[in-house]
Amino acid sequence: MKDLGDANWILQMELTQSDNQKKITLSQSQYIEDILEHHGIANCHPAKTLMESGLSLSILAEPEVDIMMYQQLIGLLMYAMVYTHPDISYVVGIVARHVSASGHVYIKAVKCIYHYLCGISDYKLVYQATKGPDKPIVYSNSDWAGDCNDWKFITGFVTCLSGGAIT
């Protein structure tokens, strides 16, 4: 093994550490810019929200669009969601339910997420040793029968430590 110094890039994430080593930031701005460029929407108009209000994504019997393309769009979003953008988790979960039979309205919903990412591509997760309590803080929420397909409730949570999301 060979010591290459401090890590700067890990799994398509930029890692920066402050001089006093009390703050670490994680960013996937280059990854997001690359996927936007790959899909031809690098210069798109950023969306202010992740999904249209009141959008209903009902289950389709047959797919209306190319399934492989739709799955690729979702997979690229999931990678950003898991590492540096937990803010898109809910809507990515909603559109990911339809990977076996998606339609044009689903593509429109996915593109809205991409347009949202276009506006926040430079956002970073910040972990700061001096910010917040030294114990994890968990927030949760539920929508009580918000799924129009089976009327089950959807719940979510976020766990924060040192000022940043960890789950």
Residue stretches of the chain with pLDDT short of 70: 131-133, 144-153
Find, among 112, 111, 77, the residue nearest to 93 by Cα: 77
Domain count, the chain: 1
Please report whether residue 144 resides in a domain: no
Please report whether residue 164 resides in a domain: no
Please report whether residue 4 resides in a domain: no
Please report whether residue 94 resides in a domain: yes
Please report whether residue 138 resides in a domain: no
pLDDT tens, residue by residue, 103-132: 788 888 889 999 999 998 889 988 887 766
Please report whether residue 25 resides in a domain: yes
Please report whether residue 148 resides in a domain: no
Helix count (H) and strand count (E) of the chain?
4, 7
**Domain with 53 in it:** 9-130
Please report whether residue 161 resides in a domain: no
Ranges of H-type helices in the chain: 29-38, 67-83, 89-96, 104-120
pTM here is 0.77
